[in-house]
Each structure stands twice: as C-alpha cells, then as structure tokens.
Amino acid sequence: MVKNVGVYLRISRESGEGRDTLLSHRTIAERYCRDKGYSYKIYEEVISGAKDIEERQSLNQLLIDIQMYEAIFVISTDRISRDNYYTQYVAKVLADNDVYILTPEKLYDLNGDDRLMFDMLGAMSSQELRLIAKRQKRGKREGAKRGEWVQGVPPLGYTRGKEKKLEIVESEANLVRMIFNYAESGYGIQSIVTKLEGHKTKAGNQFTNTAIYTILNNKTYTGSIIYNIKDKKGKITETIVMKNAHEAIITNEQFKSVQQAIKGRMSGDMDTRNRSKGKVLSMLKDLLYCKECGLKMGFRKDSKQKDAIYLKSCKCGNRGIVEHQLITSFISEFEFLQGFYQNEWENALKSSQSVSKDTLLQQVAELNKSQDKLNTRLSRAKDAYLDGVFSKEEYLKSKNDIEAELTKLSNAINDLQEQVESMDKDSISSEYKSKIEKIEQFYKLYNKEDSQQYLEECNRILKLIINKVYYARVDEKVTITSPLEGYTEVEQGDFVDLFIESK
C-alpha cells in the first residue's frame, strides 16, 4: 500500500521549458498526492534529460532516500531520463526496493507485467532524444552555413535579429570599439578593466580580465561566423567559417593589430609576466633581453642616488648599465626603424603579388574539391554500414579518419583565405602607415622637455612596434668603413651593442 511518495520534477531549458512549466508540474503533483492522501516530498531540478546521472543532484538524492517511499511520482516516465541506460539503472533501483512509479495516468509495477511497457517507453524516449539531437545538430550546421547565429546568447555588441542573423546594438558596440581601441593603443588587459569601471557586461556584471580577453579574441566582431561541430567526446570534427555573415563592429586590420599587441604582452611564462608588473622605471621596460643568453633583463633604482636608474646585470654575466646611457644608444638605433618601415612599405606596394595571390586562390579551390570528395566518402561509409557491408567498428574507424582529414582541410582553407586577405594592398598600406604613425607619436612624447612624465606612454607605444631589444655590454666596436671593399675598423673601449627586433 502506498503512503509515502517521492515526487521527482525535472524540466529542461534546452527544450524551451521555464519556471512556469516547473510550477505547473508541481501543482499537478501536489494535487495528485493530496487527492490520494499520500505524504510526499518534492525533488526538483532544471537539467536536460540527456545529462549524465552524476550531474542529476535531485534524482541522486531521491535514489539515496528511496527506502523512505513506496512509490515515486513523475509527470511522465521520460522525466526520469531520456537516456535508456540511465532509465534502466533507475528502474533497477526502484524494482530492488519494491517502489512503484506513479504518473497522472498510470501506476507502474516494475516487478510485474508493467516492466515491459516501461522498458518500451524508455527505449522510445531514448530514440526520440537521438532524433531530436540529430535534427538540432543538422539545423545548427545548416544555419551556420547561412550565416545565422546558432551559438546561444550573442556576444556583447550584437542581438539576434528576426532573420536569425546578428544585428548591432549600437550602445554595446561602442563599448566593444572602445575595448579594441584601448588594446590597439597598447593598454594591457588589466588596464582596460580599470578603464571600464562603471560599465557592465551583457550579463550585467563588472568586466574581468577573462571577459576582456574573450572579447579581444572573438572574430565575430569582424563580421564572421565561426561554428565548431563536435563529437560526443567534445572533439572538433568540423569548423564552419562564414565571412561577411553580419555587419562588422571592427575591421580585420584592427583585429590583427590587436592580436599582435596581445601576443607581445602575453609572451613568456606566468612568472615572467608577473615580474613585469609594477612601476615603469624606463621606457624600455619589458623589452630588454640579454643578447648573450636570451633572458629578460630588468631595471632597478639606485639605493643611494634617488633618481638614478640602472639596467640590472644578467645572470650570465652580461653587465648592466646606467639607464640614460642605454636610452642614448637605443635612440641612435631606433632612428633607423622609421626609415626601414617606410622602405618596406614602398617595396610592398610596388611588388606585384597577383601571381602568388592567384596561386593561393587555386590552392583554396583544390582543397574545397578535396573537402567535397571526403564528404562523399563519409556518406558512402555510412551507407555501407547501413547496408551491412561495414561492421560498426569499421564504420566508426573510417568515420573518425575522414572527419580528422576534414578538420585539417578546413583549418588549411581558413589559413589560406587569411593569407589572401593579408595580401590586399589597402591592408598592407594600413599596417605600415599605422607603424610609422606610432613612431611619430613616440618621438612627440620623447622630445618633450618633461619627457620623464611620459615614460609609461612611451613604453606603451614602443611595445606596439618592437618585439624585443637585445642588449650586450662589449669591449670593442666594429665599424664598416668601406662596404664595397669590406674594410672594417675595430675600436677598443666600453660600448653598448643593441639589436632591435621589430614586430
């Protein structure tokens, strides 16, 4: 005789169910138990029926408490689980404890004739889940190929429009542009977070380092849709890239420029990056590396002379130097950089790139053909399995091999397309023009009478155009006196030897 009932209520947001559905189910369950005169306790959760049982906290608690009840109540049997493996597991626990399953329509005795009906319902529910998942996966894949947004909540700056494509939310987009402009100007992620105090993310939270980093690495802002299709193990089997799928918030050129700036700031291990934090003592902070061993070199204040700054000696024995002498040598070398960029700019614009560009486009076309052939092979392998020609193991091996090749091809096509875009003359012109403008900005600050006040700004700009400055303290200097004849002059003394590695 049933007296005590454990009520299990589950809704799934993935199926579009909300709190109203949960409230409705709770009302039905409570009315049912009251009408029957049952004592009951409710266990409820919001989770997909396809999730592993380990993630189903309320269901697990009900199974732990199962000896307290003669029956459990569910709105329908598929609320227990849509995975037949877990459905059978729960059924065994209930049967072993002689616990019935109650629904608004029927009582199931799992130790009696009802077990067959229950098992059939579980199998049908599991099959329905597979079909739904398959349709959803296919729908998302085709939607992504049409340039639709199929990846949940749109990123900051966008909303999903009536045509399922992303549309700009101007108030949010201005914030995104601000973030990219800060990053392109050389501000670090933590500095950007500080500057955004008072602003909120799409979810209404304060900006964090992770939130800023995610935004700066999101190619959606360039107008592209990138959708990764994964298998059950989470392995990416295909990447769909649709360019010009929606209106861009930033240009491709700015995105690439920001990636370079981030890469420069994020280089090195965590210890090195943590050591680089702190006050800017020199405009070359975080840029100096030992020419002898490659280690990063830092600056220190003199303990006796308050205003004296020194480059610290390297662990390998490479001697340090007074910072102002280092800067004098650096400026002498840096003067060549502007001329170098100007020269490279002119050469890049003069050189004909049509042949190499055509070659790249031809390679893309060939890879697309290979992709089509692999998709045909995948389809034939599936047909062979369904016709009984392939065993399940043979089909899965063939499927995994083909999908791995498709992933490689997809990545190769994306790389080639980016190379084609980077060869555009407007893009090249914009890149070199930006570098020359940054050099001019640096000189404006450096040449001011109170230039010491602008150390941080100078350092920020230099990091945008310089990757590393290699330093060595040497006892002799070799000067080429006649390049044609190869004559050189060797001078003994104490010299600074620098090599500037530009970005």
What is the predicted pLDDT for the residue at 268? 44
Rg (CA), the chain: 33
Residues 6+ apart with CB under 8 A from 79: 8, 9, 10, 49
As a whole number of angstroms, the distance between CA 94 and CA 111 comes to: 9
Label residues 158-175 b or e (16+ Cβ within 10 Å = b): bebeeeebbebbeebbeb
489: helix, strand or coil: strand
What is the predicted pLDDT for the residue at 425? 58
Tell me the pTM: 0.55
What is the predicted pLDDT for the residue at 55? 83
As a whole number of angstroms, the distance between CA 261 and CA 183 comes to: 7
As a whole number of angstroms, the distance between CA 46 and CA 49 comes to: 9
What is the dihedral angle through the alpha carbons of 120, 125, 126, 129, rounded to the nearest 10 degrees? 160
As a whole number of angstroms, the distance between CA 503 and CA 255 comes to: 15
Rounded to the nearest 5 degrees, what angle is found at the Cα of 437, between the Cα atoms of 432 and 438? 100
Please give the chain's pLDDT, 503 residues, in tens: 889 999 999 888 666 566 788 899 999 999 999 999 999 999 998 887 667 778 888 999 999 999 999 999 999 888 888 777 888 888 999 999 999 999 999 999 998 888 888 888 878 877 776 776 777 777 888 888 888 998 888 999 999 998 899 999 999 999 999 999 998 888 888 889 999 998 999 988 999 999 999 999 999 999 999 988 877 677 777 788 888 899 999 988 889 888 877 775 654 444 444 444 567 889 999 899 999 999 999 998 887 777 789 999 999 999 999 999 999 999 988 888 877 777 776 666 565 454 466 777 788 888 888 888 888 888 888 888 777 888 878 888 888 888 778 878 877 887 777 767 666 655 666 777 778 888 888 998 888 867 677 888 899 889 888 889 999 998 877 666 665 666 667 778 788 999 998 87
- Domains by residue range for the chain, with CATH: 4-133 (3.40.50.1390), 150-266 (3.90.1750.20), 272-349+429-502 (no CATH)
As a whole number of angstroms, the distance between CA 249 and CA 154 comes to: 13
Helix ranges restricted to H, 196-242: 209-216
Q: What is the SS3 assignment for 256-310?
A: HHHHHHHHHHHCCCHHHHHHCCCCCCCCCCCCEEECCCCCECCEEECCCCCCCEE
As a whole number of angstroms, the distance between CA 315 and CA 307 comes to: 25
Element (H, E) at 78: none
Burial of residue 489 (CB within 10 Å: 0-12, 13-18, 19+) is exposed
| Residue type at 223 in one-letter notation | G
Handedness of CA 10, 15, 18, 20 (dihedral sign): negative
Rounded alpha-carbon distances, angstroms, from residue 107 to 22, 339, 454: 22, 87, 80
As a whole number of angstroms, the distance between CA 125 and CA 256 comes to: 48
As a whole number of angstroms, the distance between CA 68 and CA 99 comes to: 10
What is the predicted pLDDT for the residue at 352? 47
| Residue type at 241 in one-letter notation | V
Of the candidates 497, 467, 466, the one whose C-alpha atom is nearest the C-alpha of residue 338 is 466
